[in-house]
Amino acid sequence: PLLRNPDKSKLSKRKNPTSILYYKDKGFLPEALLNYLGRMGWSMPDEREKFNLNEMLDVFDINRISLGGPIFDVDKLEWLNGLWIRDELSVDDLARRLRKIISNEKDLEKLIPLAKPRMRLLTDYEKVTNFLFVEKLDINRDSFNSLGLDEISIMKILQFTIWSLDEIDEWNRDSIFEVLKNIADGLQLKLKKFLAPIFVSIAGTTSSISVMDSISILGQSKSIDRINYALTVMGVLSQVQSTQFFKEYSELKS
């Protein structure tokens, strides 16, 4: 069958990448690409979208081939590739494949289970985890604009988080979650809303691996440094504001 673009135009090698190496470099799995091509003009009897070559051969029937001009949609291919990464690759298998393309293997096996849910391509791994290894995040006041919180509320959340993280004796995900949940409850904020400015301070975005896991992996000192930097980016607290914040924090903790 003749393949078409999502806009129903004819697929052209002059406009579309045709080299198999392009898809390899982009981070597609061979299994996922083969799976997707197998669906071009043909479908499994049970209509499932993810299958391997042997499963396809077991039930292949030439009479099920359609000549209706299937659409080659790269976004759909990425979605299918993500399914293969999440459902079919073990930590060891994914680590083996990532080692061929990534520049930083630090904590690879520990980070893979956290990064996998957010990966559609192998190349997404570094996009998701790079913030853990940079010295300084590229953030400014505008980075906090979309959070639905005013500046004073953001600064209060960040300052309270610095004080609470500094008090943790046993540094692990559970202890971090407990102290931050208590602060959020004390400020009468839903946890997701409370964590948003912390997320930006730690990762530079609100779309990354869990902020609790990120803080745990970064460590106490580096996490506090990043939130302190974010607080500086937001502006300098006046002496009156600092005193008021500390009074509120002390009452919240009592």
Name the amino acid, one letter, at 13. Answer: K
Give the model's pLDDT for residue 19.
83
Model pLDDT for residues 47-91, shown as the tens digit of each residue: 999 999 999 999 999 988 887 778 888 999 999 999 999 999 999
Q: What number does CATH give the domain 20-132?
A: 1.10.1160.10
Give the predicted TM-score (pTM) of the model: 0.85
Domains 20-132 and 141-253 share a fold: no
Bridge partners of 4, per DSSP, are 10, 71
Burial 84-109 (b: 16+ CB within 10 A, else e): bbeeebeeeebbebbeeebeeeeebe
* Token pair for 165: 């993280």
Residues 6+ apart with CB under 8 A from 134: none
Dihedral sign computed on CA atoms, order 60, 61, 64, 70: positive
* 141-253: CATH topology: Arc Repressor Mutant, subunit A (1.10.10)
In tens, the pLDDT along 13-47 reads 666 677 889 999 999 999 999 999 999 889 899 99
| Domain extent listing, the chain | 20-132, 141-253
Coarse DSSP helix, strand, coil percentages of the chain, rounded to the nearest 5 percent: 60, 0, 35
- Which amino acid makes up residue 33? L
- Convert the pLDDT of each residue in 145-160 to its tens digit: 999 999 999 999 999 9
